[in-house]
Amino acid sequence: METESEPPSGLWLPLITPFRDGALDAASVRRLIAHYARQPIDGLILAATTGEGLTLDKSEIEQVVMLTAEALAETGRALPVWLGLSGSDTRKLVRTLARTANWPVDGYLIATPYYSRPSQQGLVLHFEALSDATTRPIVLYNIPARTGVNLGNEAMLRLAARDNIVGVKDCCADTRQTVELLRLKPRDFAVLSGEDALYFGALVRGCDGAVLASAHVETEAFAAVRQRILADDRLGSSIEWHRLAEVPRLLFAEPSPAPIKYWLWRLGLIASPELRLPMTGISDGLAGRIDARLSAAKSVTYA
């Protein structure tokens, strides 16, 4: 399923991975795909942070990918699917790219190496090696709060010159860095916000879209924020965002993806809010706040 290295844009969903009794819940995966294929999203990312990818073994990751491809085919929607990867050993990631070369994915979201905190030159060489190892497009994932290292703009722009490095999921938490990147980046390099609470501001500043875990819920409203901005309806977008702003606050009040899984379970989209250790379920207090939001929105059940 290799595609031309087109820069991604719009609203992308980093899909959660449902579990039941310790195992991957295939039925819930299919239910999620059937649901989100009907929603105004522009792509899916599998087995990334929100998908608890670090707790999945190789066979489970492959199973998630294959289930998603099968379920999407049944819906008839050709939605792009990217695979989330991370690691601090360049050689292992090169082997992973080779191992997944025939999988039905359209590209990769690859995080900066965690814990080892390499230099900027090390980061460039790392991603150049990965770029050389695949013909598929790659989106960089810059999230220093989780990895301990920030991919600076000088290094980012060197990587952006590569044909198949087509964008970044930007979680640098430095508005000045993001604005500078938006000013200097080539036109065929996408900047996608990964900060759910800053979604509206990122779009106003000119980001090409976002990868939003919060868009698991009230998906149409999240998409509408961007569509109104594209239609030059800044006031309407601001009003829509003001109504939505509580959602990221709820979903990140405790470690993600626990609140998202609880919400989806309450909607009937997954059979269980189960997580894998070290992640744990949400508190009774947060559950009550989410239930209140669901009640106020008169949410329907998708079971």
Q: What are phi and psi of 191, to 5 degrees?
A: -110, 110
pLDDT higher than threshold 70 for residue 285: yes
Could you state, in order of their start, the residue ranges of all structural domains in the chain?
Answer: 10-232
DSSP code of residue 151: -
Task: Could you list the residues known to form a binding site, using ranges.
Answer: 50, 211
For the entire predicted model, the pTM comes to 0.94
Whether the Cβ atoms of residue 137 and residue 190 lie closer than 8 Å to each other: no
One-letter amino acid identity for 296?
Answer: A
Instruction: Output the average pLDDT for the chain.
Output: 95
What integer pLDDT is reported at residue 6 of this predicted model?
75
Q: Which residues are catalytic?
A: 141, 169
Whether the Cβ atoms of residue 290 and residue 250 lie closer than 8 Å to each other: yes
Is CATH 3.20.20.70 correct for 10-232? yes
Between the alpha carbon of residue 163 and those of residues 121, 137, 154, the distances in Å are: 19, 8, 17
Residues for the chain: how many in total?
A: 303
Q: What are phi and psi of 192, to 5 degrees?
A: -110, 125
Segment 126-184, tens digit of pLDDT: 999 999 999 999 999 999 999 999 999 999 999 999 999 999 999 999 999 999 999 99
Task: Give SS3 for 165.
Answer: strand
Whether the Cβ atoms of residue 71 and residue 98 lie closer than 8 Å to each other: no
Task: Give SS3 for 23.
Answer: strand
Task: Could you list the residues known to form a binding site for pyruvate, using ranges.
Answer: 50, 211
What integer pLDDT is reported at residue 301 of this predicted model?
44
Segment 223-268, tens digit of pLDDT: 999 999 999 999 999 999 999 999 999 999 999 999 999 999 999 9
Could you write out the DSSP letters of every residue in 168-224? EEE----HHHHHHHHHHS-TT-EEEE--GGGHHHHHHHT--EEE-GGGGSSHHHHHH
Q: Rounded distance, CA 117 to CA 107, Å? A: 25
Q: What are phi and psi of 86, to 5 degrees?
A: -155, 160
* Most distant CA pair in the chain, distance: 52
